[in-house]
Amino acid sequence: MEVRRFKGHNGVTLTADVGGDKSDPAVILLHGTGSTRHSWAQTARDLVSAGRYVIALDLRGHGDSSWAPDHDYSLDAHLADLSAVVAELGTTPTFAGHLAGGWIALAAAGEFDASHAPNAVILADVATQFGKEAGRRTRHLMLTAPEGFSSLEDAASAVESHFPSEKRNQRIANLRRSLRLLDDGRWHWHYDPAVIDIHNPKRITPADSGRIEAAARAIRVPTLCIRGGMGELLEQEQLQHLQNLVPHVECATVHAAGPGVASEAEEDFDAAIVGFLERHVRRPTDQAPKAGVDPSTLRQALGCFGTGVAVITTVDAGGRPVGLTANSFTSVSLDPPLILFCLDRRAGSLAAFEHSHHYAVNILHIGQQDISRRFVQKDIDRFAETPWETWDRGAPIIQDCFASLECERNQILDGGDHRIFIARVKRVRFDPARDPLLYLQGRYRRVHVDN
């Protein structure tokens, strides 16, 4: 992701994290009151990985966007900002909003003309009405500690007192995204206090709900509403009301909704968004689906199953190291610990594997594509430029792999034009700090895994 500035309404500068290919479908992410674009950080990365062009925006008066000189944080001002961003992008995006950002997305989807309207809307824990209790607690939380917090732990305690289901170990890292450490050594909410000042008439309030409802009735594009399983922010009555206004809305419930939630809950949240986009806002392509069972079509279809990349090794009857690259590897059983790999009957090293009783499976990381290529080449010494060692049973272990498994033969089976080797795992080593080298549709792929 890279930082980009946009020209907002009435001289306000908007800051965004932008990532992905500009030719991919765009998604604009809008956070809630008191938060920042960083609350969408993991979702933004996941969407980029899923082939989306992502703009995670700091709303005016929040994060690194400028504060409005006239303290204008009204719905009209936010809509004018969003319209300016869409015009600068020059494409039709999806709007995704959390809390107040969801209200902005709803209003924009119902009010913008065709040149600025979205192709889909995603709402995270937001409907057309403020949840009275959740709204009260959110406002009280934003007003907590006007002098700032002494630490992130103190801030986490404040969050827990207002939203008990938000666990401390899940929130401290995310609070770092919404708070900033000032020169006074204290952590402060990262927004202009005028955003929630009850004496400021230019701000989003429950009085805007009638306008939001009218906009919702006008929405015709695909719409998704994600509700947290705890129901603390989006109550069932609000959800039902939204469904009455937008009959085609799709609803999904995850353990915890909203950007910045932790671990598995965040994965479920992002999966719901990606699934919705894949159904309704597909990436442009000039390729039609293919069908058939001829060898070429079958090979391409099987190539749609992404795999890791491994080098399978053993020693031949003369004790010389033998190895080849394969992606036909899988686990079979944990008890007993069995794995299998398949070798082409035409492979020159097949006889060595059939003769041997010990093998090694060396799973490669993203920096070992050269090793993968080396072990498919013919008429070279594949081990000459490959650092390797042996463990207890003599099969070559390639050094510095993502993972290595030393195995002994269990059984060998016929498998059409391949031979199937089932082996018992005897020793394992892996490095969780590495990222896997992947293979999909005839190409190497890479993915970064946050640990």
* Residue whose structure tokens are 């509700």: 227
The pLDDT mean for the chain works out to: 88
Neighbours of 404 (CB within 10 A): 26
pLDDT band at 206 (very low <50, low <70, confident <90, very high): confident
- What is the set of domains in the chain, with CATH numbers? 2-280 (3.40.50.1820), 297-446 (2.30.110.10)
CA distance 311 to 401: 10
* Residue whose structure tokens are 């070559």: 396
Cα 167 versus chain centre, distance: 21
CA distance 368 to 78: 48
The long-range contacts involving 376-383, CB below 8 angstroms and separated by at least 24 positions, are 376/324, 376/325, 378/348, 382/323, 383/321, 383/323
Whole-number pLDDT of residue 262: 47
pLDDT tens digits for range 119-148: 999 999 887 765 555 555 566 666 666 678
Say which range, 75-84, 278-287, 358-367, has the weakest mean pLDDT: 278-287
Q: Are 319 and 395 in contact (CB under 8 A)?
A: no
Whole-number pLDDT of residue 260: 55
What is the length of the chain?
451
Say which range, 7-21, 36-50, 288-302, 334-348, has the weakest mean pLDDT: 288-302
Q: Which two three-digit tokens encode residue 9?
A: 């309404």
Q: Which residues contact 206 (CB under 8 A, 6 or more apart)?
A: 129, 130, 135
Say which range, 89-93, 96-100, 163-167, 398-402, has the weakest mean pLDDT: 163-167
pLDDT band at 304 (very low <50, low <70, confident <90, very high): confident
pLDDT tens digits for range 6-63: 999 999 999 999 999 999 999 999 998 888 999 899 899 989 988 899 999 999 999 9
* H or E element at residue 396: strand 396-398
Spatial CA neighbour of 257 closest among 39, 49, 56: 39
- Max distance between CA atoms of the chain, in angstroms, equals 87
Neighbours of 186 (CB within 10 A): 17
pLDDT tens digits for range 148-159: 888 888 877 777
pLDDT tens digits for range 402-412: 999 999 999 99
Q: Are 116 and 110 in contact (CB under 8 A)?
A: no
Whole-number pLDDT of residue 147: 75
pLDDT tens digits for range 160-201: 665 565 554 555 666 766 777 878 888 877 788 888 888 999
pLDDT greater than 80 at residue 215: yes
- Residue 310: exposed, middle, or buried by beta-carbon count in 10 A (0-12, 13-18, 19+)? buried
